Structure 1
């Protein structure tokens, strides 16, 4: 394609988008969107022909990078064989995807219910828990995100919930552990875990244990801040659920499938096994929409002789599950999960902590694998954030612009810069990204006191 034809194609796409596309989480009259024309590995190309290192993994889902040839080929081969089939029929791709997922889920979560994405996976997990227990209330933490559908958005513990929350969803929020901004006046991780668990048990007692169907937790909260739970916290939640007959739902939509350097983030936490586990995103790196619920034996038994009242036209869609089979196979054969762990421990973690020493705007660095957050502040002593909770600021806008100008596509949320590249990131690419961040953080530093 000639340069003039390429330019015309980009302009036409932009014009049609502005005329006809209704965008999520956006005021439609105030959009300034980047056009992506191509992608490969850890890079994308914008409408101006600029190459950017993708430190966002788009929506933190392209875990194996863009256009992985084995996954592209698998989708093409499946399309030639069987494009679609109703979910009541067995199809080879779905069966094999379920087997591969069940082999990797913790404990005995061996039955897989497929959905179209993470939000509806959470919806169905909550429905299963309510039907299994005969209870209705569900507890979830502040500083969390569980999806944009009705139940999932009400479970969410960030400002995206507010316009959709009418107080009638049966959801009760509580404070989870976050030592940097502790709600419990803790000074150590041990204190934070102990006090957060005491707060959760008190919430259960005050709400009435016999009314609570489930506790839903992101194993490692994602867009809310990548707050790795302190040792003992998730085991304590598991114990509380066992004590009160509450279903424990682990949301691994963002942190699963290699993102933290393990197949599932729960593997970092003393063998904790939930009753239900939700997944999406990294299961096939978003190449075709797919999510699901991994189900433990007790809840599976509830529906052995009782019909489960739920389903989707595209549950276990063959193109999506073929992509999952190819993704999981490539991750195993190419040691992609292990690469995420190595790059995080050896390059990203130390590199980000070094940046924190040089830049007064960095209040804290935290994360695992290729799942990191850089907490940006105006004042390290007071920990005043560089942008308000639920909003942005000129400082954050300048930071994003500096990253893009230098060839990096970042992910930011409120006052945080999230470093969430694909799990296939090389050491050279990691160091390239860190060098760009070093330069761009100067924009944030100018707004410190």
Structure 2
């Protein structure tokens, strides 16, 4: 067998893939990756406009990251969480230093789902309440409480799992659930809806409001001006913990350390993963305010993980944050959004009738595709099989041309690495320009 044949055979025989009907998939074997590209065993290169799962913020195989992991492996591969460890403490300090307000402690997890799971646990214990409010257009992970807090259809086959989660509608100016005519109106009406939900659920029963600062997989929805400040004010008024899920939006993805920095809002808890070390090793966590940390000063926190703050993982986080600072990656991501991606997508929208909306920040953008002037989505909500055909055709056109896209429902998400060069981004936009002619073919003028 060739290398590729062996990879395919082993995968098909023994790997059980997530979110998949096992007999209906044919995973592409990947031979290698570097920077903004990865390639298959035939040598075909793909420009990674998905950053894998929107997590390769510093690109593939960054030499400083690889070296840091190798160095730590030679020094100390693992030690259990009850001990103090130099890299664990350094990573926590560095994260706290860039977090807003008085968020000064970090609880490390293996990923984003566990981060949200533990943040909810902290909020419930801190308040003595049990309910959690989260939006319908959201994804928070696939563990028990995290998948229940998730709003998108991945929640449905997992129910019932956890109790006490109530969903509400967040702002979405392009398809306003509040019939708003302006962004300001959308923000005001969304906040009134949230206030009504709090009142009718009973404020005294609500431990936390869990919000993706910028909604990720479910649309890259940018909150209207004043919305997050309004959520903060409601949480203060009713004694509710504000949890900002920054698993996807944090660590440079939106052109800031944390997306909340765009609006000058300080949550009580921030959950993170993905971009903190670009997924080179499994790592996530919760950044905790002094007030909530004080709850557990003499009261044990009833949660833990064997690999919480694993030395190899936190060493990669330390290296990653040094790379961010010393190579100007936050600033570069911000400039890519303002100077290249934003204007480039606006030009595509002016050219392609199938583009209904373009929105984003930094290197976190969405193109929403439509069928007609009434904004009918190119494919239905949660489309699968033949109904998803048009989007599958657009994705296939991208891949044929050497671009690996992030596609969800009727959207293409433009999410290259934060380190992508201007030339690489323009290369990707040029391929999108060609592929969007496929979407235009479904548009009824």
Q: TM-score range by the shorter chain?
A: over 0.9
Q: C-alpha separation between the residues in 2 aligned to 1:37 and 1:168?
A: 40
3-state SS in 2 of match to 1:225: coil
1:383 maps to 2:378: no
C-alpha contact (below 8 Å) 1:121/1:278 kept by paired residues: yes
Q: C-alpha separation between the residues in 2 aligned to 1:124 and 1:31?
A: 33
Aligned counterpart, 1:402: 397
3-state SS in 2 of match to 1:193: helix
1:240 maps to 2:243: no
Tell me the CA shift for residue 47 of structure 1. Answer: 2.8
Tell me the CA shift for residue 14 of structure 1. Answer: 0.8
1:147 maps to 2:151: no
1:147-182 deviation per Cα after TM superposition (whole angstroms, max 9, x unaligned): 011100111110001111227521000000001010
1:77-127 deviation per Cα after TM superposition (whole angstroms, max 9, x unaligned): 000000000000011110110011001111110000000000000000000
1:202 maps to 2:196: yes
Tell me the CA shift for residue 261 of structure 1. Answer: 0.5
Aligned counterpart, 2:102: 108
Aligned counterpart, 2:317: 324
Tell me the CA shift for residue 32 of structure 1. Answer: 2.1
3-state SS in 2 of match to 1:138: strand
Q: C-alpha separation between the residues in 2 aligned to 1:415 and 1:426?
A: 27
Q: C-alpha separation between the residues in 1 aligned to 2:98 and 2:407?
A: 31
Q: C-alpha separation between the residues in 2 aligned to 1:375 and 1:11?
A: 37
Q: C-alpha separation between the residues in 1 aligned to 2:389 and 2:246?
A: 33
3-state SS in 1 of match to 2:366: strand
Tell me the CA shift for residue 49 of structure 1. Answer: 1.4
Q: In structure 2, which of residues 65, 74, 79 is the aligned counterpart of residue 71 of structure 1?
A: 65
3-state SS in 2 of match to 1:384: coil
3-state SS in 2 of match to 1:417: strand
Unaligned runs of 5+ in 2: none
C-alpha contact (below 8 Å) 2:253/2:363 kept by paired residues: yes
Q: C-alpha separation between the residues in 2 aligned to 1:240 and 1:102?
A: 25
Q: In structure 2, which of residues 113, 123, 139 is the aligned counterpart of residue 129 of structure 1?
A: 123
Compared CA separation, residues 44 and 14, structure 1 to 2 (3 A): same
Q: In structure 1, which of residues 229, 244, 250 is the aligned counterpart of residue 244 of structure 2?
A: 250
C-alpha contact (below 8 Å) 2:144/2:161 kept by paired residues: no
1:215 maps to 2:209: yes
Aligned counterpart, 1:304: 297
1:389-424 deviation per Cα after TM superposition (whole angstroms, max 9, x unaligned): 112421111111110111101000011000000000
Aligned counterpart, 1:184: 178
Q: C-alpha separation between the residues in 2 aligned to 1:402 and 1:199?
A: 41
Aligned counterpart, 1:264: 258
1:284 maps to 2:274: no
Q: How many residues matched?
A: 441
C-alpha contact (below 8 Å) 2:148/2:162 kept by paired residues: no
1:422 maps to 2:417: yes
C-alpha contact (below 8 Å) 2:356/2:370 kept by paired residues: yes
Q: C-alpha separation between the residues in 1 aligned to 2:255 and 2:381?
A: 29
Aligned counterpart, 2:439: 444
Aligned counterpart, 1:350: 343
Aligned counterpart, 2:111: 117
Q: C-alpha separation between the residues in 2 aligned to 1:181 and 1:16?
A: 44
3-state SS in 1 of match to 2:27: coil
TM-score by length of 2: 0.98
- For the aligned residue pairs, the C-alpha RMSD in angstroms reads 0.9
TM-score by length of 1: 0.97
Q: C-alpha separation between the residues in 1 aligned to 2:162 and 2:284?
A: 26
Q: C-alpha separation between the residues in 1 aligned to 2:292 and 2:136?
A: 27
C-alpha contact (below 8 Å) 1:34/1:47 kept by paired residues: no
Q: In structure 1, which of residues 170, 175, 192 is the aligned counterpart of residue 164 of structure 2?
A: 170
Q: In structure 2, which of residues 346, 350, 360 is the aligned counterpart of residue 367 of structure 1?
A: 360
1:334 maps to 2:327: yes
Q: C-alpha separation between the residues in 2 aligned to 1:235 and 1:376?
A: 30
